[in-house]
Structure 1
């Protein structure tokens, strides 16, 4: 079986599991109702987690970022799929809580979901990764300080992640960078 067929089968089975789980678990439907009452799909934090533009569509192009088939274009559908996915038992490192920790934590907080309501998860890959970085402090770095030109100011933006026990050795910190390819056109 080709890799593409395997990936399609995995996503198809996940979609069936989410739909079946939602139908058979009244807790999920209850949390969907709470999310609708709170209008979480319109919340600024959800919009940012989904990288939504002003048209309420995500700017993310990677299909694996969404659990709903139409999640890129329908953030409410994505919210429901994510809530459902929280309750699905999975193999190690496959839970939504491992793949999308910020999104999951925000939903758990907003909906008041208790830890004992959720299946146990093991996120050893995430824990190993975060254990290597050991983030304690973040510093936003601009490559230039000329504010008159946004593409100069924001064109090369860095986020430095420093561990707690680091003493003046910022040269060995982890960095995330954002390159802006169309800053001057916005």
Structure 2
């Protein structure tokens, strides 16, 4: 029979479990959306019993918010590498396209749940600060204009990712050009 030391998870194993649950949740949210999955499915996908989920996360919303935090970090890294308005636009569009089911859940939860709305607002404020630090043109705008710019670019990229332009008969190249123009108007990128 194993002794107590053998039964106790090491910190490294606990961290691995949390990472596995986050990755399983990310995949579930991207494939099924927030409403299409549950904590038991996430735990099973990560290779754990359902009760293991609750050792790491309070509930499904808590893990969703952590997946969102990782999503925001990944997008920031991708945008930091953009050296032109076209690269900036393509990075956002690619990120939104890859995670479009997750983003649909995010948009819905932002409206439905004040906690998600607050976390998303904080992430957007951080994006505005980063843009203002990296672009004199953006920094020169009022905060309201900066917010409008961010929301416009975000929505245009979602429209490309979700196929809204396609449904209206706008060719993909023209749709992307609208995003690039919107970015060039406010950010110091060629």
TM-score, length of structure 1 as denominator length: 0.25
Which fold has the larger relative contact order, with Cα–Cα distance below 8 Å and residues 6 or more apart in sequence? Answer: 2
TM-score, length of structure 2 as denominator length: 0.24
Bigger helix share:
2
Bigger strand share:
1
